[in-house]
Amino acid sequence: MAKKELIKLKINGKEREVAAEPRLLLVHFIREQLGLTGTHVGCDTSNCGACTVLLNGKTVKSCTMFAVQADGAEIMTVEGLPSNGALHPLQEGFKEEHGLQCGFCTPGMLISSYALLKKNPNPTEAEIRWGISGNLCRCTGYQNIVKAVQFASKKMAQGGK
């Protein structure tokens, strides 16, 4: 086992300092070292996007990065979606529009949708479809995910978060 490196980062607003092997994947670091199991592993080849997290404001597939590469970074996972005690408009939208079934892709979908709406608060259907095209869903056929993002977009424009 290689010597562990100390990794300092901010995740969901909290400073954390944990030692990890240089080869440890960021997704395993998040799930197993930091105990945040909302981020999932679905494919190991960066195709499915279940492991998507926000790293310094950009979406990354955390199965394709080493934890040491995230040293000093600011990360947001599904557990950190800003909520103020209630559901985030995106979470609400996914529930209202039936945008999830088994729930396994959902954390990654939420993070990708969150990043999309940050960049483009009022996306067209085509823009939403492209925006979540790095995330595979095996259950919903995407249509209700599109509606969920539209729901959140509207709600946020009306003064949500």
Partner 1 sequence: MHKTSVEISGMGHSMKRKEDSRFLQGRGNYVDDVNLPHMVYGHMVRSPYAHAKLKSINTEAAKKLPGVLAIITGEDLAKANLAWMPTLFFDKQMVLATGKVLFQAQEVAFVVAEDRYTAADAAELVEVEYEELPVLVDPHKAMDADAPILRDDREEKSNHIFHWEVGDKQATDKAFTESAVNAKVHAVFQRCHPAPLETCGCVADYNNATERLTIYLTSQAPHAHRTLFSIVGGIPEQNIRVVSPDIGGGFGNKVPIYPGYVCAVVASLTLGVPVKWIETRSENLQSTGFARDYHMTAELAADKTGKIKAMRVKTLADHGAFNAAAQPTKFPAGLFSVCTGSYDYPAAFCEVDGVYTNKAPGGIAYRCSFRITEAAYLIERAVDVLALDLKMDPAELRRKNYIQPAQFPYKTPLGWTYDSGKYEGALDKALGMVGYKEIRKEQEEKRKKGELMGIGISSFTEAVGAGPAHTFDIAGIKMFDSAEIRIHPTGKAICRMGTKSQGQGHETTYAQIVAQELGIPAKDVIIEEGDTDTAPYGLGTYASRSTPTSGAATAIAARKIREKAKKIAAFLLEASEEDLEWEPGKFFVKGAPGKAKTIQEIAFAAYTNIPPGLEAGLEAVNYYDPPNLTFPFGTYICVVDIDKGTGEIKVRRFIAVDDCGNVINPMIVEGQIHGGLTEGLAIAFMQLIDYDENGNVSGGSFMDYLIPTAVETPHWETGLTCTPSPHHPFGAKGVGESPNVGSPAAFVNAVVDALSHLGVKHIDMPITPWKVWNILKEKGITG
Q: Which residues bind partner 1 (CB under 8 A)?
A: 1, 21, 23-24, 28, 31-32, 36-45, 47-48, 50, 77-79, 81, 87, 91, 94-96, 98, 100-107, 110, 128-130, 132-146
| Minimum separation from the CB atom of position 152 to partner 1 (A) | 12
CB of 72 or CB of 75, closer to partner 1: 75
CB of 9 or CB of 49, closer to partner 1: 49
Residue 147: alpha-carbon gap to chain centroid: 18
Rounded to whole angstroms, the Cα distance separating 28 from 35 reads 9
| Minimum separation from the CB atom of position 126 to partner 1 (A) | 8
CB of 63 or CB of 73, closer to partner 1: 63
| Minimum separation from the CB atom of position 66 to partner 1 (A) | 12
Q: How far separated are the first and last CA of the chain, in Å rounded?
A: 44
CB of 23 or CB of 72, closer to partner 1: 23
Those residues whose C-beta lies under 8 Å from the C-beta of residue 7, and which sit 6 or more positions away, are 17, 18, 19, 20, 29, 67, 68, 70, 71
Rounded to whole angstroms, the Cα distance separating 68 from 42 reads 22
Rounded to whole angstroms, the Cα distance separating 56 from 10 reads 10
